[in-house]
Structure 1
Amino acid sequence: MTNDGPFGPVVNGTQIVFYEYRPNQPAAITFIALFGLATLAHLVCTFILRAWFFIPFVLGGICETFGYVGRAWSHKDPARPGPFILQNVLLLAGPPFLAATVYMSLGRVTTALNAQHLSKISTRWMTKIYVIIDIACIFSQFIGALMPVNGDEESIRKGHTIIIVGLVVQLGALSFFILTSWYIYWGIMRDPTNLSMNKLLGNWRKCFRAIEIVTVIMIVRGVVRAAEFLQGEGGYVISHEAFIYAFDAALMFMIMVVFAIVHPGRLVRANIRSMNLAQDTMLQNLQ
């Protein structure tokens, strides 16, 4: 079994380069296990906390898990289209699903702290705008990842362009998003709301830090993936498998770990308990 690349089928007289190397099977299997366990943990938390806004996050975990199934599958036959398409589409589509929940988390946390007035735009519209951008990015990743399969050079070039545009738009949205998060956080620090001083919601600072940490991680991942597609076939990033694991797999798994430790759904549930407690106290006083 040779380890020399590149690998890929010849279609219409043109070799489509799937991999510049033979995919590492043990590394892929390791991340199948890691993402599988992390996704299961988040699925359980979603039901326990009734944090339905984490459903896209779970879907992102599923994409990451089966994306690395595709890479493990590609180890034996790197020129086979099916496994390559599976990993290419899912590993590009997974992060936008994760990002959708990050966007929604800021809106939920801000509302739970009654700090909507600190956002430059309505938190409801803010969430909708970011999620719409994210959906557009997901579709661009799907389309861009599928276009090169027919072997046409023009389709390959257009596919890469669409992916790059999607990544750049996502990077722009994430950059503006983290500025919005910082603005709301420091606004609460300067002028605390009553709910931000409630002991039941005492971990709200950790939630903001978690949101900002995962956003920075996504920005780093997006920059590396954009560089990969800008360099194109034979580029340094795409030719070294270490980049996909160091700046994609490891970073996306880190995001799932951070949100498992500091789950925004816990703050939202604490807010609901706080309101219920306040209502019970009011009823007792009236009696």
Structure 2
Amino acid sequence: MDSLYFYDPSHALPAAFAALVGLSLILHIYQNFRYRFWRVTFWMFYGALIFTTGWILRCVSSYYPSNKSLYVAQTVFIYAGPPIFSAAEYNVLGRLMYYMPMHAPFNPGRTIIFFIYLGASVESLTAAGASLYATAHGVDDSQTYITGGTLISVSLALQAVIECVFISMVALMHYSGVKAKTLPRNVRTLCIMLYGTSTFVLLRCIARAIESFSTATTTHCNGVCRLVLFHEWYLYVFEAAPMVIYTFWLNLIHPGRLLPADKNRYLDPDGVTQRIGPLWIDSRSKWEKIMDPLDFGGAMTGTSKREAFWLQPERWVPAPGGSFAQGTATNVKTASTSEEMNGGSKLIDLIPWRRDVTAV
């Protein structure tokens, strides 16, 4: 039988990585339920599910190296996992911006949408490219092979750019908090985690881009092309290992331990008190919001019309249940926290201005 691989694929390694990512998936499901953080880190669960499926399929494919359907499926699922992981980071950044609105450069909700749409574009290009690339692999269809490789290259380059923008926004908030001396330990820990996980995504993008450009656009496979195609370790060192570390790091420093599940809870400029706020108040006209949803113009010229509601603490009630900044709050549901949360909700419902504020 003719193998679709340029080497004898390992049976043990894909099984080991499937087990590792699967374990991380189980831990993440547990923590999402424990901290009630599904809305923020759902994509971590979904990405781990896709990635685990990819390594299981690769394990099966290693026993049937000439089976094209298995080869295509494992390629698509393994390629598809990391861009979905990145979507979890985007949601965490959005929740961090809601938590520290005084340091958020843009509307948190629209920033999340901006990143998610870009991430969806990356995922679409990745899936289409991986499918074409794997389908043409090992057969005399150079045009499909090149097209698939080009789509993968474009998706990797786009994802790398998005990650750089993402890191820049985290760094901007981090710097702003340090400068204002209002950066609590939970936010600093979260920023360090986001720097690290994004670095692993970038490392994976660079390695996969080298693979794509060296194999899909050359007529003679020498040098880097030969290193990538004829050595299985390249895949495990630069694809599997970084993403496994990524998933476990996000489990170790789960955002649900550091940020409130309720995005209405924000941190006072004092860096300690938590209050129940209006999310975001943008006083621009409807057409201004449509033409410039993130308010780039206001950010660039310093004429942003967002309302600095955090400078009016008397308007917003203190959040019950302690403070994440001091390590005295938790998202874990207990009898005492449920009573505090319900009491806080009833108090908020009685305040007239709370119903009049328009959050955008």
* TM norm structure 1: 0.84
Quick one: distance in 2 between partners of 1:192 and 1:89? 46
Match of 1:170 in 2: 159
Cα displacement (A) at 1:46: 1.1
Q: Is 2:7 the counterpart of 1:7?
A: no
Q: Deviations over 1:22-73 (max 9, x none)?
A: 2111111111111111001101111111112211111111111111112211
- Matching residue of 1:207: 190
Question: Structure 1: which 5+ residue stretches go unaligned?
Answer: 9-18
Which residue in 2 is equivalent to 1:37?
23
1:97 partnered with 2:88: no
Partner of 2:259: helix, strand, or coil? helix
- 1:261 and 2:289 correspond: no
Q: Distance in 2 between matches of 1:206 and 1:87?
A: 35
Which residue of structure 1 lines up, in the alignment, with residue 231 of structure 2? 240
Amino acid at match of 2:257: R
Aligned twin of 2:320: 276
Asked if the contact 1:7/1:79 (under 8 Å) is kept, the reply is: yes
Mapped contact 1:66–1:86 kept (Cα < 8 A): no
**How many pairs are equivalent?**
261
Tell me if the contact between 2:193 and 2:253 (Cα under 8 Å) persists in the aligned partners: yes
The percentage of counterpart residues that share the same residue type is 24
Distance 2:152 2:205 in 1: 11
CA distance in 2, matches of 1:27, 1:190: 46
Give CA deviations for 1:240-274 in whole Å, capped at 9, x if unaligned: 11111111111101011111111112222387595
Which is greater in Rg? 2
Instruction: Give the drift of 1:153.
Output: 2.3
- Residue 106 of structure 2 is matched in structure 1 by 121
Q: Output the aligned Cα RMSD.
A: 2.3
Contact kept in structure 2, 1:144 and 1:163, CA below 8 Å: yes
Q: Does structure 1 residue 135 correspond to structure 2 residue 120? A: yes
Shift of 1:7: 2.6
Q: Give the conservation status (yes or no) of the 8 Å contact 1:49–1:265.
A: yes
Higher helix share goes to which structure? 1
Q: For the structure 1 residues 146 and 270, does the alpha-carbon distance in structure 2 shift closer, same or farther, using more than 3 Å as the test?
A: closer
Separation in 2, partners of 1:92, 1:110: 30
User: What corresponds to 1:13 in structure 2?
Assistant: none
| Structure 2 runs not aligned, ≥5 long | 267-273, 275-318, 323-339, 348-360
Q: Which residue of 2 aligns with 1:15?
A: none
Q: Is the 8 A contact 1:109 1:267 kept in 2?
A: no
Aligned residue among 125, 131, 154 for 1:146: 131
The equivalent position to 2:12 in structure 1, one of 3, 13, 26, is 26
Partner SS for 1:203: helix
User: SS of 1:185's equivalent?
Assistant: helix
Aligned partners of 1:49 and 1:269 also within 8 Å: no
Question: Hey, what's the Cα distance between the residues in 2 that align with 1:102 and 1:7?
Answer: 38
Distance 2:147 2:117 in 1: 23
Q: Which residue of 176, 194, 205 corresponds with 1:222?
A: 205
In the alignment, residue 110 of structure 1 is paired with which amino acid? Answer: M
Contact 2:187–2:258, Cα closer than 8 Å, also in 1: yes
Separation in 2, partners of 1:213, 1:27: 25
